Structure 1
Amino acid sequence: MVPVTNWEVVSNTQEYSNTKFCWTLENFSELKEHCYVSSKILVGGRNWVLKLYPKGLNTIYSAWLSLFLHIADDETVKTGEETYVQCDMRILDPFGCDHLTKKINQRFGNSIPTWGWHKFVSLANLEKVYLDNLGSLEVEIHFKVVSSTKYS
């Protein structure tokens, strides 16, 4: 008989009823950088950031806005640690309730530090629907469940 040497410990499982983070990007059509990174969001004992690519992650997606949830670069993720995240990412409609929502149901860790969409919304649709009168874009993330897993 082989002795058990590894086991999984799940801790810090929490449901978040109102953990929302809003990020406004002013003058969206004038953004020049390839990537914009939000301020840090502390949820579930870990720092997260949103990474937004106003003209796509690369030239293949240049007609799209790319948007990702990412473990913050200064976070240390040990081998075997994973964080399960369930959340909604939204581009808000400034004139109504036609928000564009996509769901994340994903484990994050060393092998998967980021999750999101190369094609979150087409730039043509974004300019028609999701920019306010001043050309600002409002991005929101709403965390619902976060749990941490450690292997020993």
Structure 2
Amino acid sequence: MGAVVSSNVVLDEEIDTSSSTLQIWRERPPSSYSIKVQILSKLQSSTFFSDGKYQSRRFFSGGYNWRMIIYPKGNTKDNGGGFISMYVEIDSTSFVSKHQDEVYADIRFFVFNKKENKYFTIQDKEPKPFNTLRTVWGFPRVLPLDTFNNHKNGYVFDGDHCEFGVDVFVAPPPTKLEIISFGEKLPYPKFSWTRRILAHLRLFQWEERNVNWWLEKGCLGFGFDHFMSSADLRKSYLDNEDTLKVEIEFKAVSATKYSS
């Protein structure tokens, strides 16, 4: 269900570039959700019939509903035996209401330490994708149970109290999008019509001409006001009844769709 973290807890402000996770101390409490446990032993015993986990109430963050999941004795199914395991789960029905298939979120988990008066914080360095196939992300090894349960270390305090928390920062979907496609074929690329010439024309001297033009929304058209001389037109292109056959062919080179 999540990344495996080594038992060596990093307790400084430096980033370990060799690991995919970041572990630091932080004074500021979690902003998305917090669980303050008054009797830890009761929490540990209450999870016996729930596959060893405690699930919080739903909370709202970043436009979605979430739930924090804690394994106070470790998630053995995720190689978390002997550790505190922590996860966050997205409400999959949110995808239907928002017409989205996936959402990325930065997840940070917290365990309060009264001795330091700070929160031990662990997070992935990269946002995690949540979708209908993967609704849960987290860490099976947040803190070793021997470290956590030892009152001298400060994670369990005032008798049997402790606090867990999570921050969920949802990355907004792209609001501006451009899709370029090539080789598109127009259903009716060629047009032709016949007109009788009753007046002198002001046209240029070329028989045909290629036009490369980027057509955008609101564009009324494009062409040449000088295409062929009147003399050449009457000499070579009009029939006995002074009628002219005109033909135009369109070829789509590329097309771009925008979303803003």
Shift of 1:142: 2.3
4+ runs deviating over 6 angstroms: none
CA distance in 2, matches of 1:25, 1:131: 10
Unmatched segments (≥5 aa) in structure 1: 1-17
Give RMSD over aligned pairs.
Answer: 2.4
Task: Indicate the structure whose relative CO is greater, using CA pairs within 8 Å and at least 6 residues apart.
Answer: 1
CA distance in 1, matches of 2:135, 2:170: 17
Of 94, 98, 110, 1:90 maps to 110
Q: Which amino acid aligns with 1:26?
A: Q
Residue 36 in structure 1 maps to residue 61 in structure 2: no
Of 73, 77, 84, 1:55 maps to 73
Residue 112 in structure 1 maps to residue 134 in structure 2: yes
TM-score (norm: length of structure 1): 0.73
* 2:229 match: none
CA distance in 1, matches of 2:170, 2:94: 21
CA distance in 2, matches of 1:85, 1:65: 22
Q: Deviations over 1:118-142 (max 9, x none)?
A: 1111111111231111312201212
CA distance in 1, matches of 2:108, 2:80: 22
* 2:90 match: 71
* 2:17 match: none
Alpha-carbon contact 1:81-1:148 (below 8 Å) kept: no
CA distance in 2, matches of 1:63, 1:89: 18
**Which structure has the larger Rg over C-alpha atoms?**
2
TM-score (norm: length of structure 2): 0.45
In proportion to residue count, which structure has more strand? 1
Unmatched segments (≥5 aa) in structure 2: 1-29, 175-260
CA distance in 1, matches of 2:89, 2:31: 17
Distance change (3 Å), C-alpha of 1:127 and 1:144: same
